Amino acid sequence: MVKNKQATQDKLIKAVGEVLADVGFSGVGVNAVAKRAGVDKVLIYRYFGSFDKLCLAFAQSADFWPSLKELIPDPEVLSAMGTAERVTLVLKRFTTSLRKRPLTLEVMAWELLERNAFTIELENVREASGLELNRFMQDLSSNTTRDSTDEIDWLAITAVLSAGMQYLALRARKINVYNGIELNKDEGWMQLERSIETLIAGVTT
């Protein structure tokens, strides 16, 4: 038995993610996490105060949500595009980033059912990130030559489309088909991407 507070804390935080990944949200609890960390559960209360606080620590530690620079590593490239192409590209990247994060998806699904430390924390990160992204996109737009797309409600349009891709990413975890689209195959997702292209392109013509 080695005694090292920091290491134990880290083990606990890591264990939350592992349990979440292994057995899903329903298995995430004091006993399971402590067992997984190979540590007594009482340490959760000693070091984090409560289980919720531990969850919160985990939510802050991992990169749950696609960061701005993950979505837009190349602002100068984007700024050379028209609004439609730019929005399309970012939506695609957003979807891809999301699908790469099984833990985020698990918590996002959770978020639709319960409000707890996890979901509230993710919510905060997401809101901040969304605002940042919108601001960024607006800045890019204002640098672009003004065109016929100015009076379009991009906020609402991206809301519907990003919500759609999020929902499909969530469903894909459990169910393979939605409305005839095969969510378990890349072909299905390409089909969806093409739809987004078509939809957004149509708006600007």
Partner DNA sequence: ATGCAATGTCACCGCATGGTGATATGGTGT
Partner DNA sequence: ACACCATATCACCATGCGGTGACATTGCAT
Identify the residue among 42, 131, 155, 201 touching DNA (CB under 7 A): 42
Residues numbered 92-131 forming contacts with its own copies, rule: CB under 8 A? 106, 109-115, 123, 127, 130
Binding to DNA by residue 27, rule CB under 7 A? yes
| Distance of alpha carbon 64 from alpha carbon 84, whole angstroms | 27
Shortest Cβ 113–its own copies spacing (Å)? 5
The yes or no reply on residue 43 touching DNA (CB under 7 A) is yes
Alpha helices in 38-153 (DSSP H): 42-48, 51-61, 68-71, 75-79, 83-99, 102-111, 117-143
2 binds DNA (CB under 7 A): yes
Tokens of 13: 């935080």
Among 142, 150, 180, 186, the residue binding its own copies under the rule CB under 8 A is 180
Q: How far is CA 160 from CA 3, 127, 164, 196, in A?
A: 51, 16, 6, 11
173 part of the interface to its own copies, by CB under 8 A: yes
CB count within 10 Å of CB 174 equals 8
Tell me which of 10, 45, 103, 204 binds DNA, using CB under 7 A.
45
Residues lying near DNA in the complex (CB under 7 A) are found at: 1-5, 7-8, 27, 29-32, 39-43, 45-46, 50-51
